[in-house]
Amino acid sequence: MTPPELATAAPSEMEVPAFSMPVESNPAGFAATLRKYTKIFRASLVERLTYRADFLFSTLLRFLPMLTTILLWQAIYATATPDETSTPGHKRLSGFQFDEMIAYLLMVNISRMFSSMPGLAGGIARDIREGTIKKYLLQPLDLIGYLLSYRVAHKVSYIISSALPYAVLFFICRGFFRGHVPTEPTVWLAFATSLVLAFAVGFFFEASVGMVGFWFLEVTSILYIVMTLNFFISGHMFPLDLLPRPWSTILKSLPFQYMAYFPAVIFLGKVRGAALAYGLLLQLCWAGVFICLARWLYRRGLRRYSAYGG
């Protein structure tokens, strides 16, 4: 079984109720206003808590893969032949100590939180196939622009709602981060930048895959292949440094590493100075490449588009 796109199951999918604020006409003062907002707060809370059992259950399940991952790597480090640079008591594999390895595998989740785009390419392809893409052609609305703003909102609500489970997870695993949390503000800044760029690379890459739908009506299978491959070559499974020589170099020169590996190694302080600046620049370039690619494919695709159905 290939890994499902886990972010689809995240609480992100729960819609936030849109309360329109009634204009205050009653001059009853502070107490009434307070009562009103308390009511809104309670209604929102009840709405949120409707799915509490489901939410708690899935959060609990979410810890299981992390548990087995930690145990697996513990077993690997127990018997592995370390790098020559290792010091006694600090076994390193491709430069990663055990706690760094676990911290890396936790941080990769944060990278993927930004770069994974569940349903984006599939949605574009469906719009093309079913002809609903027409609505973007008839209105003064750009498809990519619309999807981008929709996705940003989606990500914001996802990140906010999964902050608590992640905070618990990171708190439990805080021991692995001891000494690996960046202290310099520049590293934090670089990390934040790389996450934003990871979002851009992920978004425009998947949008480009979706645009292939103009040429092939059925892209789900291509999408599955790409996503399965991405799980490995983005460094989601383990740091790319662990791979033997030609492969690690090849994978590190592909854009996929920016969706998982790169932000995580910035956080762990594995890339510094000039290499960091160069990496961020390359990430920016890849984002640019995919922006252009998605635009170009969209423009070319529209010329082929013959508006079936809809």
Partner 1 sequence: MSSATRYFRLIGSLGRYALARELSFRGNFLAKVSVEVLWLGILLAFYRTIFARTSSIAEWSEPQYLFFVGCFFALNGLIETLFLENCDGFAELVRTGDLDFLLLKPIDEQFLITCRRVDWSTAPNVVMGAAVMVLSLWQMHWAFEPARIVAFFVSFACGVMIAYCFMLMLTSVSVWMVRNQGLMEMWWLFSSLARYPKEIFSHTWADPIGRFFTYILPILLVVNVPSQAMVRILDWRMVGFTLLATIVLFWVSRKFFQKALRSYRSASS
Q: Using CB under 8 A as the criterion, what x/- string covers residues 38-77 for binding partner 1?
A: ------------xx-xx--xx--xx-xx-xx--xx-xxx-
Nearer to partner 1 among residue 217 and residue 275 (C-beta): 217
Cα–Cα dist 78/98, whole Å: 10
Count CA atoms closer than 13 A to 188's CA, side-chain side: 5
Closest among 197, 193, 109, 199 to 151, alpha carbons compared: 199
Residue 238 interacts with partner 1 (CB under 8 A): yes or no: yes
DSSP per-residue letters across 107-145: HHHHHHHHH--TTHHHHHHHHHHHSTTHHHHHTT--HHH
3-class secondary structure, 305: coil
Nearer to partner 1 among residue 146 and residue 216 (C-beta): 216
Nearer to partner 1 among residue 61 and residue 254 (C-beta): 61
Calculate the CA 42 to chain-centre distance.
31
Cα–Cα dist 171/181, whole Å: 13
Site for partner 1 in 159-218 (CB under 8 A): 218
Nearer to partner 1 among residue 117 and residue 276 (C-beta): 117
CB of 65 to partner 1, least distance (A): 4
Nearer to partner 1 among residue 85 and residue 221 (C-beta): 221
> Given candidates 9, 159, 169, 282, which one binds partner 1 under the rule CB under 8 A?
9
Nearer to partner 1 among residue 40 and residue 222 (C-beta): 222
Cα–Cα dist 159/110, whole Å: 9
Nearer to partner 1 among residue 231 and residue 305 (C-beta): 231
CB of 163 to partner 1, least distance (A): 18
Using alpha carbons, list the distances in angstroms from residue 236 to 106, 240, 285: 10, 9, 22
Q: Using CB under 8 A as the criterion, what x/- string covers residues 82-101 for binding partner 1?
A: -----------x--------
Residue 242 interacts with partner 1 (CB under 8 A): yes or no: yes
Dihedral angle at the C-alpha atoms of 204, 196, 258, 1, nearest 10 degrees? -70
Nearer to partner 1 among residue 2 and residue 26 (C-beta): 2
Contacts of 131 (CB under 8 A, 6+ apart): 307, 308, 309, 310
Residue 296 interacts with partner 1 (CB under 8 A): yes or no: no
Residue 149 interacts with partner 1 (CB under 8 A): yes or no: no
Residues in the chain: 310
Cα–Cα dist 18/21, whole Å: 9
CB of 42 to partner 1, least distance (A): 19
CB of 244 to partner 1, least distance (A): 7
Of 102-110, 133-141, 189-197, 234-242: span binding partner 1 (CB under 8 A): 234-242
How many residues make contact with partner 1 (CB under 8 A)?
Answer: 44
> Given candidates 144, 196, 237, 302, which one binds partner 1 under the rule CB under 8 A?
237
Cβ(228)–Cβ(236) below 8 Å = no
Using a 10 angstrom Cβ sphere, with 0-12 exposed, 13-18 middle and 19 or more buried, the burial of residue 66 is: middle
Cα–Cα dist 169/188, whole Å: 20
The residues of the shown chain that bind partner 1, judged by CB under 8 A, are 1-4, 6, 8-9, 14, 50-51, 53-54, 57-58, 61-62, 64-65, 67-68, 71-72, 74-76, 78-81, 93, 218, 221-222, 224-225, 228-229, 231-232, 237-238, 242-244
